Structure 1
């Protein structure tokens, strides 16, 4: 059996067949879909959550902030603490934690309980993101690592297509609490799939926490982490508050907003697969290519979103652009630390989720203080800063 270096390797683990390996990748994709759906549910439910729990929309956005912050802290810590534990078992436990977190959110009688439940969700998210991409790289042959990684990260985009809009629709039809119960049920189904389809995935070499953190000193990886920090913070400063913005600027209701989020998500799936292969060859070029339209779209939507059709066009461009971010930044992290893929993935996941938390926080404060439109402007500016860092920083440009 091929030995795994520093917790992960592009070499495949032992598996019965190529089909079984891809079925395992599919199960891991189900896990990423579930964690992103769970994390993003408040985006489409902010208005009813804030009304039921009697907090402002900006305060309700803290349910996303708390989740992202805990996920950011737990990703590198869980990776270091896992040791050689079978990653199949770990993934199953994390999905169980996610399930209980969603059930707690559905039951929450007040906002304090909601935040506590979202902490559990954050632990599940951080752990899954820390190990999911490197697991995919071990389930398939080396030549298939790129497509397998893109498939795993398609869970992010598909969650935008199905998960978040479905949560918005369910919230409109049956109440926001039912949306969280459905998310808990989804986690239980994926847990069963993980147990049935994944082989045992032991780790040959453990990476201590101090070594995980030292990876950030590598210039190419440090650039990637800075780009993720600014780009994702900017995106979520704006995207977390897209529902109140569309209600204010476009003047549409919950069902139409759900449709727009569906359009956004479909575009995101196309962006994920379209940029997956390109991002392997040139992560810097790919991020700049998708980041500039993303910044322009976020800046324009307050001015042009008054027209429903222009709002649709802008959401499509936004989805296409952001859909490629996750897989491209993960490929950048892998290329910057090919000898420590799981550790690099954990760092990337930590910064990514921390940026989600920070984006929801600063976007919420900005929306409460200056109005929801200002959150869009802030988001666009932060994405432009990320593009400047990507342009001047160190980057591994592969397979020219």
Structure 2
């Protein structure tokens, strides 16, 4: 690193932390996740106005996820020579541009183009979160900082779909995307003011991704996290049909239970910071164990609405700590290649989401909704076993 670059770095006092940069990242995360999920609640008006099917409109979510997966692997090597502050600002600008393009889209091709830009922004931003957070706060404050950033994700997942649907009925689906883009403008200005200059620490290349997987602890941790995220999305994607057919609640009841999941997820995200401070390894194992108990509990007691509601909220609480704990594990396991490690982690999560939802769909169609939580619970047991038997995170 050059002397000039070092001079631009903002020193971080151990006893007094400036949390403004962290909150600026959290605000951007809220916008990113909101934009990613908005089509779920706006499929019908989007499809009607653009003259496409709802299935085609739904593919905008899939397109974003696939592009995010690829982008997460390529960002670190592609931007290895640039100030990380500039790179983050660029991805936030892409986020704004994507929402504007979607809001102005005259046809399906323009709509997909906007979602491609969003995928690049999401993949790039998420792959850098761990590395940037490590440089914004002292080492002992990293779990807390990550809980703030991922708290933004939890908040967005809880409110994005219902709020988007509500606002869509008032200002139209295009207006909703413009409002989301406006949120990105606020985040961009905040980041421009708050983020310090951060020169790249270690040059990253595509080959670095494969070298990281050769490290036993990295490979084991990635495998365990894939199982947890895959098991989660295998069941959570089909939570609504489970609640409608097994618990036998109406649409309003489903909405209330999913809202309960979201609120508990936010609480779990922030509580996990304190848990990680006590023991990272125990937190990594405890979350899938709790999710396993909830999954099996839903199989047994899923027909009782009050108990099912509590169990769904318990699932949300347990899963809330998963992204924070695994990102903290990453910062402690590969601090020398944290950006490449972040890209690898984001790609593995996107893969787990895709495969988990796909496998869950096949199981639902062939064997019914009850088999999915059973399989998910078994997957969580395997994941917890991998953590307890083989994983040795530093400062655990």
TM range (shorter): 0.7 to 0.9
The structure 1 residue matched to 2:10, chosen from 8, 14, 20, is 14
Instruction: Report the Cα distance in structure 2 between the residues aligned to 1:391 and 1:16, rounded to whole angstroms.
Output: 34
**Contact 2:154-2:320 at 8 Å conserved across structures:** yes
Residue equivalent to 2:355: 358
Name the stretch that deviates more: 244-253 or 321-330: 244-253
The 5 Å alignment of 1:1-400 reads 13-14=9-10, 21-42=18-39, 53-55=52-54, 62-105=59-102, 116-170=113-167, 178-249=175-246, 250-253=248-251, 256-280=253-277, 282-301=279-298, 304-367=301-364, 374-398=371-395
Instruction: Report the Cα distance in structure 2 between the residues aligned to 1:305 and 1:179, rounded to whole angstroms.
Output: 35
**Contact 2:101-2:110 at 8 Å conserved across structures:** yes
**Contact 2:12-2:138 at 8 Å conserved across structures:** no
Q: CA deviation at 1:248?
A: 4.4
Instruction: Report the Cα distance in structure 1 between the residues aligned to 2:47 and 2:299, rounded to whole angstroms.
Output: 23
Instruction: Report the Cα distance in structure 1 between the residues aligned to 2:164 and 2:148, rounded to whole angstroms.
Output: 22
Instruction: Report the Cα distance in structure 1 between the residues aligned to 2:112 and 2:365, rounded to whole angstroms.
Output: 19
Given the superposition, is the C-alpha separation of residues 356 and 43 from structure 1 closer, same or farther in structure 2, using an over 3 Å criterion? farther
Given the superposition, is the C-alpha separation of residues 2 and 135 from structure 1 closer, same or farther in structure 2, using an over 3 Å criterion? farther
**Contact 2:43-2:54 at 8 Å conserved across structures:** no
- Comparing both chains, which one has the higher relative contact order based on Cα–Cα distances under 8 Å and sequence gaps of 6 or more? 1
Name the stretch that deviates more: 294-303 or 122-131: 294-303
Q: CA deviation at 1:212?
A: 3.3
Instruction: Report the Cα distance in structure 1 between the residues aligned to 2:381 and 2:174, rounded to whole angstroms.
Output: 37
Q: CA deviation at 1:328?
A: 0.4
- SS of 1:199's partner is coil
Q: CA deviation at 1:125?
A: 0.9
Instruction: Report the Cα distance in structure 2 between the residues aligned to 1:96 and 1:172, rounded to whole angstroms.
Output: 27
Name the stretch that deviates more: 375-384 or 260-269: 375-384
Instruction: Report the Cα distance in structure 2 between the residues aligned to 1:384 and 1:41, rounded to whole angstroms.
Output: 33
Instruction: Report the Cα distance in structure 1 between the residues aligned to 2:287 and 2:353, rounded to whole angstroms.
Output: 18
Instruction: Report the Cα distance in structure 1 between the residues aligned to 2:305 and 2:102, rounded to whole angstroms.
Output: 33
Name the stretch that deviates more: 237-246 or 220-229: 237-246
Instruction: Report the Cα distance in structure 2 between the residues aligned to 1:381 and 1:64, rounded to whole angstroms.
Output: 28
- SS of 1:340's partner is helix
TM (normalized to structure 2)?
0.83
Instruction: Report the Cα distance in structure 2 between the residues aligned to 1:384 and 1:61, rounded to whole angstroms.
Output: 33
Q: CA deviation at 1:321?
A: 0.4
Unaligned runs of 5+ in 1: 4-11
**Contact 1:70-1:122 at 8 Å conserved across structures:** yes
Q: CA deviation at 1:146?
A: 2.8
**Contact 1:49-1:176 at 8 Å conserved across structures:** yes
**Contact 1:95-1:191 at 8 Å conserved across structures:** yes
- For these two proteins, the number of residue pairs brought into alignment is 388
Residue equivalent to 1:7: none
* Bigger-Rg structure (1/2): 2
**Contact 2:92-2:188 at 8 Å conserved across structures:** yes
